[in-house]
Amino acid sequence: MNNSTNISADWIRGLIHDFIATSSHNTMENETGEAAWDSALVGFVAGADPIWQQYKEYVGAFHWTPWEVFNQQRPEASASAEELTVISWVLPQRELVRKANRRTKKYPAEEWARIRVYGEKFNVALRQHVADSLAQAGHAAIAPMLVSNWTIVNSQRFSYASSWSERHAAHAAGLGTFGLCDGLITARGKAMRVGSVVAKVYIEPTPRPYADHRAYCLFFADGSCGKCIDRCPVRAIAENGHDKEKCRQHLVRSREYVKKTYKFEGYGCGLCQVGVPCEAGIPVKAAREALERGELPPPPPPLA
Ligand code: SF4
Ligand code: SF4
């Protein structure tokens, strides 16, 4: 039996957009107090959607389904998969941040590094705000990234992965598909950050406007592009994919650079997310135009 309550998608969208517009957390913490974010894309996916089981097979058994993480954390509110909805959002990087990082060749621009630290601090506050607002309205909710047992796990296929992937939640919620560099290409591009909350509510799921989990990447669509390969300063991207360990080591090195150059404790890279055709939109023309026309493809095949 489904005991969750219907709530309006617009109420959630309003909650997220109001927080972006009014929260004191929305800052790059620079001298001018520039806002970290100015907009969000929001999508919804059912807790009972078969894609969660496919992630268990594709990402690893350690990747939580919404049902697993919700019932671990809120046993008193116990919910079936059918009673849960995952609310996912994308925070697109602002033009000034993308522009600054486009100019860099090895380490991140100050603006990008600030977003990695302070923009993500806002994203943490947003996760908490969405979960708390739902709880105040009488709906149990949790943010999987904020639970104490969220962890990074060694993975045979991906070197390492986590018990909840925000990018996979966003993909499930119709917000984007994966690129050669592993980033999620959304309607506002790949330069973005993502967040999510699992709630005991029913919200109409967002249709997934793609039949393939790589539909928006030019490399997988027609074999062209590969621009992210050239943007990576440590050759962590190749035609056979993304070397997470090389990427991680570069991020570790970036800490020293950020501290020395920008005088704060931060890190980042994201060079592969800017100066590329998928930086701020969907580069595959047919997919972009189909999305603009509101067309849906046939049901997607299982992830392979
Ligand atoms: S830069 Fe090109 S190859 Fe790389 S993810 Fe974007 S569209 Fe795909
Ligand atoms: S984040 Fe930086 S190091 Fe990692 S793949 Fe992208 S460009 Fe390379």
**Mean of the per-residue pLDDT values for the chain?**
94
* Residue 300 CB–ligand 1 contact under 6 Å: no
The closest-lying atom of ligand 2 relative to the alpha carbon of residue 246 is 3
Residue 302 lies in a domain: no
Q: Which of 278, 279, 285, 288 to mutate to test the pocket of ligand 1 (most atoms within 8 A of CB)?
A: 278
Stated as kind and residue range, the H or E segment containing 196 is: strand 192-199
The closest-lying atom of ligand 1 relative to the alpha carbon of residue 219 is 3
Q: For tokens 């090195």, name the residue.
A: 253
Q: Which of 107, 235, 237, 276 to mutate to test the pocket of ligand 2 (most atoms within 8 A of CB)?
A: 237
Residue 255 lies in a domain: yes
Ligand 1 centroid distance, CA of 218 (Å) = 6
Ligand 1 centroid distance, CA of 49 (Å) = 28
Tokens representing 100? Answer: 């600054």
Burial code of 77-94, b = ≥16 C-beta within 10 A, e = fewer? Answer: bebbbebbbbbbbbbbbb
Query: What digits encode the pLDDT tens for the residues 82-92?
Result: 999 999 999 99
61 pLDDT above the threshold of 60: yes
Residue 123 lies in a domain: yes
Q: For tokens 């997607």, name the residue.
A: 300
- Quick one: pLDDT band at residue 123, thresholds 50, 70, 90? very high
19 contact partners, CB below 8 Å, separation of at least 6: 26, 125, 126, 129, 130
Residue nearest to atom 8 of ligand 2 (CA): 232
Q: Domain range for residue 172?
A: 5-292
Ligand 1 centroid distance, CA of 292 (Å) = 20
Residue 297 lies in a domain: no
Contact residues of ligand 2, CB 6 A cut-off: 181, 231-232, 234, 236-237, 242, 247, 250, 269-272
Cα distances from 191 to residues 95, 188, 296, in angstroms, run 10, 8, 24
Residue 57 lies in a domain: yes
* Residue 283 CB–ligand 1 contact under 6 Å: yes
Cα distances from 297 to residues 154, 207, 208, 209, 282, in angstroms, run 34, 10, 8, 6, 16
Q: What is the sign, positive or negative, of the torsion defined by CA atoms of 181, 228, 191, 276?
A: negative
Q: Provide the pLDDT for residue 160.
A: 75
What Rg, from alpha-carbon coordinates, does the chain have? 19
Residue 299 lies in a domain: no
- Split into its structural domains, the chain has a count of 1
The whole-number average pLDDT for the span 258-287 is 97
Residue 300 lies in a domain: no
How does DSSP classify residue 14? H
- pTM of the shown model: 0.95
Q: Provide the pLDDT for residue 304.
A: 45
Instruction: Provide the terminal-to-terminal Cα distance of the chain, rounded to the nearest Å.
Output: 33
Ligand 2 centroid distance, CA of 256 (Å) = 16
Q: How much of the chain, in percent, has pLDDT values that exceed 70?
A: 96
**What ligand is nearest to the CA atom of residue 272?**
2
Residue 145 lies in a domain: yes
Ligand 2 centroid distance, CA of 268 (Å) = 9
* Residue 69 CB–ligand 1 contact under 6 Å: no
Q: What is the sign, positive or negative, of the torsion defined by CA atoms of 211, 63, 50, 74?
A: negative
What whole-number distance in Å separates Cα of residue 82 and Cα of residue 52?
Answer: 12
Query: What digits encode the pLDDT tens for the residues 131-190?
Result: 999 999 999 999 999 999 998 887 767 677 889 999 999 999 999 999 999 999 999 999
Q: Which of 276, 279, 285, 288 to mutate to test the pocket of ligand 1 (most atoms within 8 A of CB)?
A: 276
Ligand 1 centroid distance, CA of 220 (Å) = 9
